[in-house]
Amino acid sequence: MSEIIPYGKISTPAELGRLLRRKRKALGMNQARAAGLAGVGVRFLSELERGKAGLELGKVMLVIHRLGLELRLADPRDRDGAP
């Protein structure tokens, strides 16, 4: 199993958007290329990166996956974040 590199706590859609934008840019992709890779429109990706609430969860998760990330949930009472 590869090492888990946390991107930090995400509490708002805006924080998620900033994280995804940072990852996309680190991969050297513009929005058009990243959107095409994820099978979403550029407008959707732009709105996601700007933190728009109410976007379709399935598409959000697809973008997360296509950028090479995964979504994990942790109980804040659990120190190591294990389920």
pLDDT score at 24: 96
Domain edges within the chain? 13-66
What is the rounded CA–CA span in Å between residue 36 and residue 75? 34
pLDDT of 20 > 60? The answer is yes
Residues 6+ apart with CB under 8 A from 37: 29, 66
The predicted model scores a pTM of 0.83
What is the rounded CA–CA span in Å between residue 8 and residue 76? 12
- The per-residue DSSP string of 62-77 comes to HHHHHTT-------TT
What is the pLDDT confidence band of residue 5, given thresholds at 50, 70 and 90? low
pLDDT of 2 > 50? The answer is no
Domain topology for 13-66: 434 Repressor (Amino-terminal Domain) (1.10.260)
Q: Could you read off the pLDDT of 35-83 as tens digits, one per residue? A: 999 999 999 999 999 999 999 999 999 999 999 999 888 887 886 544 4
Q: Catalogue the E-assigned strands of 7-61.
A: none
The H or E element containing residue 9 is none
